[in-house]
Amino acid sequence: MYKVSLKARSQEFEYNCSPNQTPLKAARDNFIPFPTGCQRGGCGMCKVKVLDGEYEHELVRSHEYLPDEELNNRFALACCMTPKSNLEIITIEDYEKQNNRI
């Protein structure tokens, strides 16, 4: 079991995620308000920046919402990834706010 530290909706959350579970599913199971949509890699609503930790990302995803450049820069779709260590992630919404990109 790994620990996930998540920043979402300007709040910080911590929860457990098993190695075969996505951080999105684990958050929803814990009633944490993780932005979500299709849960199949097609809408980009669950996009996060991984600030720390190791993970695997399924290659099945929408390139429109997660282009290769972002994938290679540790952006990920939380519905298409599994943890390989403890993770620190931030939703794209909070990441952009934090970096004044809106």
CB of 54 to ligand FES, least distance (A): 20
Q: Which listed residue (3, 36, 58, 88) binds ligand FES by CB under 6 A?
A: 36
CB of 3 to ligand FES, least distance (A): 21
Which helix (H) or strand (E) segment holds residue 91: the answer is: strand 87-91
Question: Is residue 38 at the binding interface for ligand FES, with CB under 6 A as the rule?
Answer: yes
Question: Is residue 39 at the binding interface for ligand FES, with CB under 6 A as the rule?
Answer: yes
Is residue 80 within 8 Å of residue 47, measured between CB atoms?
no
Spatial separation of the C-alpha atoms in residues 35 and 53, rounded to whole Å: 21
CB of 60 to ligand FES, least distance (A): 11
Interactions with ligand FES, residue window 42-71 (CB under 6 A) = 42-46
Query: How far from 33 is each of 13, 79, 85, 91, CA to CA, in Å?
Result: 10, 14, 22, 11
